[in-house]
Amino acid sequence: QVQLQESGPGLVKPSQTLSLTCTVSGGSITTNYYYWSWVRQPPGKGLEWMGAIAYRGSTYYSPSLRSRTSISRDTSKNQFTLQLSSVTPEDTAVYYCARAARVVVRTREAGDYWGQGTQVTVSS
């Protein structure tokens, strides 16, 4: 059973960089043909795919967030990390990490394993 767990600060100040880590257990992030995504859900809104890192390490980003987003991984720790720079209150959301057999994850059904999500609030 693959398990994903998000971790990181719950409160970030405007203009700072948000950093979250997803720790994966029960499976390797280098397993062929899987993509590891970051997805967020602002209050009262739907899921927003932010980006993904592939089993080979290639990265993919949402065009709307590309300029502020970076996803990396540490294969020795079986973790992947999200960095979102220059945050504003509009970046307040529950942030999820997920595994999928596709690059883009826009629905719950598109990912086969999800973390429980972590609330991030951007506020001074």
First to last CA, the chain: 39
Position 122 scores a pLDDT of: 98
pLDDT of residue 17: 98
State the Cα–Cα distance between residues 5 and 115, nearest whole angstrom.
5
pLDDT tens column, 69-104:
999 999 999 999 999 999 999 999 999 999 999 999
In total, the chain counts a number of residues equal to 124
Report how far residue 81's alpha carbon sits from residue 7's, in angstroms, rounded to the nearest whole number. 10
pLDDT tens, N- to C-terminus, the chain (124 residues): 999 999 999 999 999 999 999 999 999 999 999 999 999 999 999 999 999 999 999 999 999 999 999 999 999 999 999 999 999 999 999 999 999 999 999 999 999 999 999 999 999 9
Residue whose tokens read 């397993």: 31
Q: Tell me, letter by letter, the H, E, C secondary structure of 33-96.
A: CCEEEEEEECCCCCCEEEEEEECCCCEEECCCCHHHEEEEEECCCCEEEEEECCCCHHHCEEEE
Residue 105 has what pLDDT? 95
| Residue 15 exposed, middle or buried by CB count within 10 Å (0-12, 13-18, 19+) | exposed
pLDDT score recorded for residue 1: 93
